[in-house]
Amino acid sequence: MSKLKLGLQMWSIHDVFVNQGFEKALQEMSKMGYEGLEFALGGSATLSDRCGYPVDPKELKKMMEAYGVEPLGSHIAFGEFMKNPEVVLQECLDLGLKYAAVGPAFEGDRTPHGDQIEKYKQITEGARVFKENGIQFQVHCAVYGYLHDYKGRPTYQGMIEEAGIDLIQPEFDTAWMICSGNDPIELLKKYRGHVDILHFKDYHPVPYDTEYILVRHNEVCDHHRGCAVGDNGVQDVASIVAAAEECGTKWVLTELWNEENSLENARISAENIKKYL
């Protein structure tokens, strides 16, 4: 039996969290077999801001324990962290999170070199603050993370190298690994032992391809009409799960798009991934 655990990223059923509340979302997650939850704050500083209703993180942690769902990590808004570091960090601590992730620091070489260097410094200092408080920092490798920095590195790689792998881990997303022209298995091997969380997101093949990453990204987004993980998408779930386990990954997470039928796609995704766990 696999040692990998199955989790869900909050955005996958964002509509349920916002419109029906955390208890309903946790009930549904638990029924589907999801063992952990990664929060997603977007541009908000706190879950209360994100959801539009009061959320007490300590009470939420108790509720999650009651449903057998582990509070795993959070996609924080780094801009909000820079403005209100105590507020953002404290919510992560109150929830008992092990991880905190941010997106790519900037949009590759479209950002002036001086700004790139400053962003790397800010991210490194932020990662150090979280590490000192027992939380592992991560870069969620969205497609912009594969654009190159002033040294010719993918931005996600630059973030890791400037801070050090002990301060920043990669949190890869299978959809954007594939969209960016990378082999998920090869990237897992490259960062063996440092990819604690792997996001599974999928998309149906698109009719138009190009060498330029952002055009591919836009084509994927423009043609997206809903796709559960493993539902005739672009990836071999079985081989990626096997590689993740072999490379020391701890959690595989479903991350869906802004789906109209979010619960059904979350259920199908769980079933398709659990076949290989």
pLDDT tens digit sequence for 140-171: 999 999 999 999 999 999 999 999 999 999 99
- Of the candidates 79, 80, 103, the one whose C-alpha atom is nearest the C-alpha of residue 91 is 80
Task: State the pLDDT at residue 30.
Answer: 97
Fold of 5-274: TIM Barrel (3.20.20)
> How many CA atoms lie less than 13 Å away from 134 in the CB half-sphere?
9
pLDDT tens digit sequence for 33-82: 999 999 999 999 999 999 999 999 999 999 999 999 999 999 999 999 99
Higher-confidence residue: 215 or 248?
Answer: 248
Task: State the pLDDT at residue 220.
Answer: 84
Q: Where is average pLDDT lowest: 100-114, 148-162, 208-222?
A: 208-222
User: CA triplet 196, 224, 276: central angle to 5 degrees?
Assistant: 40
- Mean pLDDT score of the chain: 95
Over residues 99-113, mean pLDDT: 93
N- to C-terminal Cα separation, the chain: 7
Task: State the pLDDT at residue 206.
Answer: 82
pTM of the predicted protein model:
0.96
Task: State the pLDDT at residue 51.
Answer: 96
Strand order in the sheet with 168-171: 168-171, 136-140, 99-102, 70-75, 36-40, 5-9, 251-254, 197-200
225 pLDDT higher than 80? no
pLDDT tens digit sequence for 169-182: 999 999 999 999 99
215 pLDDT higher than 90? no
Q: Where are the domains of the chain?
A: 5-274
Over residues 202-223, mean pLDDT: 83
Task: State the pLDDT at residue 207.
Answer: 77
